[in-house]
């Protein structure tokens, strides 16, 4: 049986930590308050994604292929570096 995961567990845990750190877990919030908070986070994330993807699409058409190639390579190397750094920290127990 295949399981599909539509969320990033690290993001969910980060939001849980932020919400509990702000004391939102102990304020006795109602269902409406909780729903509006989740809806606000969702709408804010969707708006941010829409803004970034629209901006990237507009800028991409104005750039030369060589420049885009360099940006893609640098971005890929940065992601790889962060992945190696995270793996190293995990293996070292930091």
Count CA within 13 A, CB hemisphere, residue 34: 11
Task: Tell me the pLDDT tens digit for each residue of 28-44.
Answer: 667 777 788 778 888 88
Higher pLDDT, 32 or 82: 82
CA-CA-CA-CA torsion sign (15, 22, 47, 43): positive
* Among the ranges given (3-12, 14-23, 45-54), the one the predictor scored with the smallest mean pLDDT: 3-12
Query: In the chain, what are the domain boundaries?
Result: 1-62, 63-94
Q: What is the pTM of this model?
A: 0.51
């Amino acid at each position: 049986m295949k399981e599909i995961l539509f969320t990033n567990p690290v993001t969910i845990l980060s939001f849980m930590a932020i919400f509990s750190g702000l004391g939102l877990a102990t304020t006795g919030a109602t269902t409406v308050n909780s729903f509006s908070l989740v809806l606000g986070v969702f709408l804010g994330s969707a708006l941010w994604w829409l803004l970034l993807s629209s901006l990237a699409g507009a800028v991409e058409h104005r750039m030369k292929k060589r420049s885009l190639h360099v940006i893609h390579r640098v971005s890929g190397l940065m992601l790889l570096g962060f992945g190696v750094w995270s793996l190293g920290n995990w293996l070292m127990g930091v």
